[in-house]
Amino acid sequence: MRRPLILVAVAAVLVAMAAVAWQAFLRPGEILVLRAAAGERSGDAFRLMSEIGEVLARHSDSVRLDVVETASNSENLTLVQAGTVDLAAIQSDAPAVVSTRLVARLFADAFLLVAWADSGILTPADLAGKRIALPPHATSEQRAFWAVADHYDIDPLSLTRLALPAEEALARMLKREVDAVFLVRSLRDPVVLRFFEDAKLVRRGALRVVPIDQAEAMTLKRPFLRASELVKGAFDGSPPLPPADIVTAGMDRLLVAAAGAPEEAVAELTRVMMEQRLDLALRTPLAAAITAPGRGDAGLPLHPGAERYYLRDEPGFLQENAEPMALIVTLAAMLVSGIMALRARLMADRKNNADKYNHDLLVLSQRARDATSTGELAACKAELTAILEKCVIDLDTDEVTEAGFQSFSLLWEAVRTVIEDRQREVSPAN
């Protein structure tokens, strides 16, 4: 009867162990999907995030990326702040709130002011009285234009403005329905590059990339901007466009996450972006610009998941302070060793004092045994009392240890007994 019960119990234990092993080692890991708002489908950010999603699927078993098309960077920011998406590509001038966390710096956007060469527009100030195509209303790109207009003191009423999506604005430009177009795009944006190619084909005139030569000064008032250089031939090599190196303004495109985005998933995404940049760069040159964000980018803190990856190789407190800590430990060891040596020396001195008193007692004991008169024995007894007084005083001043005094006490009692016995022996004789 007992044997079947034992077999059942053993089988139950084996089943439980198998279940635990499967749960811990064999069960497929849960795949987390991060939703990322990336702007227009034709934009650089959408293209880059889509490539990141494909590379992530190849190099990660636990995280996938769902790239969501949106109308603008402003919408991206709204979605991530509301928690509708986990990630968003935004420009560094976006008014992000503290609930948004940085993940990475994706690439740099440049302010591109393109005009017809015969329009007379040589600087931003020459836009007065001209027709210009601007990015749509309430977008960070249009806010960027008004930052330029404010710096160059351009009267908004002097402009004939059309707020249009990038592709439509460039199409109007090719038809010469506007004199200039303002964009905030990367230098490798396919829409921009195709525009310059089409402009050569339609042969309606030469184009000029207008320098924003006071970009450095603009950064003083707007720290999220930065001055950048457009090198000669950046958009065309024959003839070169621009014909020489020029200065323009720009800002960074950042990848941010909602504060509640899963830490493990964001850490894995960051790892793949940083460690598989070569794979990404083969798909799109924009990926070569992906870097860790600066602490001050957009005034936002790092997401804990991204921070965990970036700090993986940084030394801990003990590693970083190994030499000072080793010095402190060495000095402490030397100090303890010195204290112990000093204590041993003091203990030895105190033991020597006790030994001296014991020696005096032994000498006194011998004198008592050799005494032949009560007078000699009385002197021995007085000396015995004097030795006791000295030893007690030394005990009070820590010149003699407790253990030494105990051995002294036993010997002192023995010597007193010797003296008293000798007194009894000598008295009858006297």
Cα–Cα distance for residue pair 305/239, rounded to 1 Å: 48
Whether residue 305 is found in the same domain as residue 339:
no
pLDDT one-digit tens code per residue, 75-119: 898 899 898 999 999 988 877 666 789 999 999 999 999 999 999
Whether residue 97 is found in the same domain as residue 179:
yes
CB 65 within 8 A of CB 37: no
The DSSP letter of residue 106 is E
The per-residue pLDDT for 306 is: 92
Whether residue 271 is found in the same domain as residue 361:
no
Cα–Cα distance for residue pair 116/210, rounded to 1 Å: 10
Greater model confidence, 396 or 89? 89
Q: Which residue, 314, 341, 356, sits at the end of a domain?
A: 314
Cβ neighbours for 130, distance < 8 A, ≥ 6 positions apart:
115, 119, 121, 159, 160, 179, 180
Report residue 5's pLDDT band, with 50, 70 and 90 as the boundaries. low
Residue 146 has pLDDT above 90, yes or no: yes
Q: Which residue, 265, 291, 314, sits at the end of a domain?
A: 314
Whether residue 334 is found in the same domain as residue 258:
no
Name beta bridge partners: 183. Answer: 112
The DSSP letter of residue 135 is P
pLDDT one-digit tens code per residue, 250-287: 999 999 999 899 999 999 999 999 999 899 998 988 88
Tell me which residue range forms the domain holding 184.
Answer: 55-61+67-314
Cα–Cα distance for residue pair 250/141, rounded to 1 Å: 11
Report residue 7's pLDDT band, with 50, 70 and 90 as the boundaries. low
The total number of structural domains that make up the chain? 2
Residue 67 has pLDDT above 90, yes or no: yes
Helices 374-396 + 402-429 axis angle, to 10: 170
Whether residue 338 is found in the same domain as residue 299:
no
Q: Which residues of 7-19 are buried (b: 16+ CB within 10 A; e: fewer)?
A: eeeeeeeeeeeee
Please check whether residue 147 lies inside any domain of the structure.
Answer: yes
Report residue 352's pLDDT band, with 50, 70 and 90 as the boundaries. low
**Which domain CATH number covers 103?**
3.40.190.10
CA distances from 43 to 21, 128, 142, 198 (A): 47, 29, 16, 18
Report residue 26's pLDDT band, with 50, 70 and 90 as the boundaries. very low
Residue 213 has pLDDT above 90, yes or no: yes
Q: Which residue, 267, 288, 314, sits at the end of a domain?
A: 314
Please check whether residue 9 lies inside any domain of the structure.
Answer: no
Residue 64 has pLDDT above 60, yes or no: yes
- Classify strands 236-237 and 246-258 as parallel, antiparallel or unpaired: unpaired
